[in-house]
Amino acid sequence: MRIFDPHIHMTSRTTDDYEAMHAAGVRAVVEPSFWLGQPRTSPASFLDYFDSLLGWEPFRAAQYGIAHHCTLALNPKEAGDPRCVPVLDELPRYLVKDQVVAVGEIGYDSMTPAEDTALAVQLQLAADHQLPALVHTPHRDKPAGLRRTLDVVRESALPPERVLVDHLNETTVKEAKDSGCWLGFSVYPDTKMDEQRMVAILREYGPEQVLVNSAADWGRSDPLKTRRVGDLMLAEDFTEDDVDRVLWRNPVAFYGLSGRLNLDLAAPGTTHEGNSVLRGVPKDGTTTGTAEA
């Protein structure tokens, strides 16, 4: 089973996770920029984070045979913080970079006027840069949040077929599907979707334009949830072709809209700016030690 996790925050995960993901079939990920839990106090903090998503993290992923791309944006949680909003002026010079395959994650958290502005401005940035957009939908009052999100998308220059609305569930899937957007589902251990509910939605609505992600991050989450959905699909009589469509071809098609998806991992380097993922010389002594972070 080949798996593309279209929404996962690897910055918060360990090398053990990369190893387990590769063993489960994960060969590609997209890491959306997001909130770090600790509020940022200046645009400079975003820029170091963006650089890490463009440099260190793809390097780390490549050591484990996984292709890494990212989406960049001012996230919904910090879109109302005046200390953070000026990062919008810095985004254009980052959105031209090769590994950026969408603007995201953008969207609503508390549905404030400041979030309205950040969402509209960043949908325009996506249109200006010929990029698709990854749009997070709020975790509270989901139907109202989705409706307002789709209104802003309709008023934007970005057509729905270049928009992925994420964190959907049973209460929002129908309206999202009718909008013509791509449909994202985050499968978590306790909250939001689980594997059984995900498979039931796939049975009712079909696999077209559906993307399943783990959205694993620093909170309670599981980077192998994509695989668990694939296994349950097979157990419940979906075909291998259906699984491949949902877990591989759909994310490739959506992020491929950027024209920048490169899934070729030929011979990754062993260091990034002089640093490796190793901590000293391995026990078998076969690899030369490299400079440490």
Nearer to Zn ion, 6 or 58 (CB): 6
Contact assessment for residue 7 and residue 222, using Cβ atoms and an 8 Å cutoff: no
Nearest-approach distance from CB 106 to Zn ion, in angstroms: 11
Nearer to Zn ion, 164 or 261 (CB): 164
Nearest-approach distance from CB 186 to Zn ion, in angstroms: 7
CA distance 83 to 63: 36
Residue 37 region, left (φ>0) first, then alpha (ψ -120 to 50), else beta? left
Nearer to Zn ion, 63 or 186 (CB): 186
Nearer to Zn ion, 92 or 219 (CB): 219
Nearest-approach distance from CB 71 to Zn ion, in angstroms: 10
- The reply to whether 34 sits near Zn ion by the rule CB under 5 A is yes
Nearest-approach distance from CB 33 to Zn ion, in angstroms: 9
Cross-sheet strand order for the sheet of 67-72? 3-5, 26-32, 67-72, 100-107, 133-136, 163-166, 182-186, 210-213
Nearest CA-CA partner of 258 in 30, 58, 102: 102
Nearest-approach distance from CB 105 to Zn ion, in angstroms: 5
CA distance 268 to 266: 6
Nearer to Zn ion, 63 or 172 (CB): 172
CA distance 270 to 256: 27
Binding region for Zn ion (CB under 5 A) out of 31-39, 52-60, 87-95, 199-207:
31-39
- The reply to whether 185 sits near Zn ion by the rule CB under 5 A is no
- The reply to whether 50 sits near Zn ion by the rule CB under 5 A is no
Binding region for Zn ion (CB under 5 A) out of 108-116, 149-157, 212-220, 284-292:
212-220
Binding region for Zn ion (CB under 5 A) out of 34-42, 77-85, 121-129, 149-157:
34-42
- The reply to whether 108 sits near Zn ion by the rule CB under 5 A is no
Give the list of residues 6+ apart from residue 239 with CB closer than 8 angstroms, or none: none
Binding region for Zn ion (CB under 5 A) out of 30-38, 114-122, 170-178, 192-200:
30-38
Q: Look up residue 11 and give its DSSP letter.
A: G
Nearest CA-CA partner of 83 in 43, 47, 28: 43
Binding region for Zn ion (CB under 5 A) out of 37-45, 63-71, 117-125, 209-217:
209-217
Nearest-approach distance from CB 80 to Zn ion, in angstroms: 18
- The reply to whether 255 sits near Zn ion by the rule CB under 5 A is no
The continuous run of DSSP H or E covering 67 comes out as strand 67-72
Contact assessment for residue 129 and residue 103, using Cβ atoms and an 8 Å cutoff: yes
Binding site for Zn ion (CB under 5 A): 34, 215
